[in-house]
Amino acid sequence: MSAHKILVIEDHKDTRELLKYNLASAGFDIAAAEDGQSGISLAEAFKPEIILLDLMMPGMDGLEVCRHLKSTPELSRIPVIMLTAKGEEIDKIVGLELGADDYVVKPFSPRELVLRIKAVLRRSGTPEPNAPKLWEREGLRIDFEAHQVDIDDEEVTLTATEFKLLTVLISGAGKVQTRDNLLDTVWDTHFEGYSRTVDTHVRRLRQKLGPYADWIETVRGVGYRFKA
């Protein structure tokens, strides 16, 4: 089996070299860029399976890079993990709204980063065991094996995390999914502060579902439920 391809976009040389070393040691195939524009060009050429993106970069910052990636059809499905500093809470939320799949706060351990990468790769891989191969209701059609969502015969692009979130909600239709349960099953994490990440992804998923947004119901103080 060939190694998973990861693109690192990080302007700080020491951090970039450390990431390259640790990820290569973990068995990944690594490419790296030192700024946003070259990172986009490298994404087009290298075709990574996941992108690690530093938020704070001179010139074209991480949010601009993320916005460009998610608005470019051939790049939009590549999962993005943002690398953030502790004080950048608003940037994390904005990044998630733009379509990033996850974030890791600096300083982080190599082990933590590898776990986050593997979790995102799982979300973009095989469907949930309890999910049907094909699910349809009114104008909403989901092909779980192809990772494709159609709304009124128009394909809608979801990130790997958004697709996993929708899969989990539909697989448990009619049942309340607490934020903690969603963190366990979608993000594979118990990290403090991630409940806000759940809310951000649900809000973004509802926007993409358009006329079917209200099929994801909010259970106040608990979590979310997909209408049975």
Q: How far apart are CA 24 and CA 132, in angstroms?
A: 36
Q: Which domains does the chain have, with CATH numbers?
A: 5-123 (3.40.50.2300), 134-226 (1.10.10.10)
Helix 195-209 with 89-98: angle, nearest 10 deg: 30
In the block, tokens 């700024």 appear at 35
User: Is the per-residue pLDDT at 16 higher than 80?
Assistant: yes
Paired sense of beta strands 140-143 and 134-137, if any: antiparallel
Tens-digit pLDDT profile for residues 111-160: 889 988 988 888 776 555 555 678 899 999 999 888 889 999 999 988 88
Q: Tokens standing for 6?
A: 């990861």
pLDDT at 101: 84
Helix (H, G, I), strand (E, B) or coil at 176: coil
For the beta carbon of residue 29, count every other beta carbon within 10 angstroms: 15
pLDDT at 13: 93
pLDDT at 218: 95
Helix 110-123 with 13-25: angle, nearest 10 deg: 70
pLDDT at 131: 56
- Predicted model pTM: 0.75
pLDDT at 105: 83
Tens-digit pLDDT profile for residues 164-208: 899 999 988 999 999 888 888 887 765 556 677 888 889 989 999
